[in-house]
């Protein structure tokens, strides 16, 4: 397991801030039980920050017709809907909610060439709000594979998540299972698949990026 580069500055700040309460408590000779409690709370909070930026080691086993989950989390939406930004037609939408305790790396669901990328500044509605996918801060990434099939992936920031990091751009060649982004402190990833795609997950499933097969393309 590795530590994500996006967390280095935050971890240093957290270490400094969380060390202050127990040090002050000890310096001013507060009751020993209070100092112990403050130390324990600081260690727990620092541990939560560390685990948030973890990058697990995973093995890709999918084939070129399979779409892997681009994020860890819980499947909250599977529905046929109108995709209005790029395809402008009906697609199958699968949404994965990422809680603060999930890994927050985002991985390419398929290999191919990036056909479209756009960053949208926006609001920070809660991730399950009906308008979060159109009104919140978000990115849209479209990948076309070697057979001409296109998948759209959308990172969506939420009420807690305040920064979306993205590493791909139009024209880039991307590999399935490689990192394309990171969302700090939770939120949601939407995947838009062609109609007729065989979706392999169900509502409320807990999924793992890279390891869980999301769908089988026709």
User: Which of 217, 170, 176, 172 has its CA nearest to residue 193?
Assistant: 217
Rounded Cα distance between 181 and 216, Å, is: 23
Rounded Cα distance between 113 and 93, Å, is: 21
What three-state secondary structure class fits 50? helix
Contact call for residues 203 and 75 (beta carbons, < 8 A)? yes
Angle at 175 between CA 195 and CA 98, to 5 degrees: 65
Rounded Cα distance between 16 and 13, Å, is: 5
Residues labelled catalytic: 187
47 Cβ neighbours under 8 A, 6+ residues apart: none
Contact call for residues 185 and 7 (beta carbons, < 8 A)? no
């Amino acid at each position: 397991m590795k530590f994500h580069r996006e967390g280095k500055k935050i971890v240093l700040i957290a270490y400094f801030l969380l060390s202050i309460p127990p040090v002050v408590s000890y310096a001013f000779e507060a009751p020993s039980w209070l100092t112990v409690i403050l130390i324990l709370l600081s260690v727990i909070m620092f541990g939560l920050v560390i685990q948030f930026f973890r990058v697990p080691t995973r093995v890709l086993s999918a084939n070129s017709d399979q779409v892997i989950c681009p994020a860890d989390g819980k499947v909250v939406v599977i529905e046929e809907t109108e995709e209005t930004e790029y395809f402008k037609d009906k697609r199958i939408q699968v949404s994965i909610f990422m809680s603060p305790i999930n890994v927050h790396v985002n991985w390419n669901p398929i290999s191919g060439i990036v056909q479209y990328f756009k960053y949208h500044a926006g609001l920070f509605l809660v991730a399950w709000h009906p308008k979060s996918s159109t009104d919140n801060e978000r990115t849209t990434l479209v990948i076309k594979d070697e057979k001409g099939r296109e998948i759209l992936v959308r990172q969506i920031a939420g009420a807690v998540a305040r920064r979306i990091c993205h590493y791909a751009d139009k024209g880039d060649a991307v590999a399935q299972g490689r990192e394309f982004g990171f969302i700090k402190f939770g939120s949601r990833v939407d995947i838009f698949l062609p109609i007729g795609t065989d979706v392999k997950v169900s509502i409320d499933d807990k999924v793992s990026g890279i390891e869980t097969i999301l769908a089988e393309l026709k």
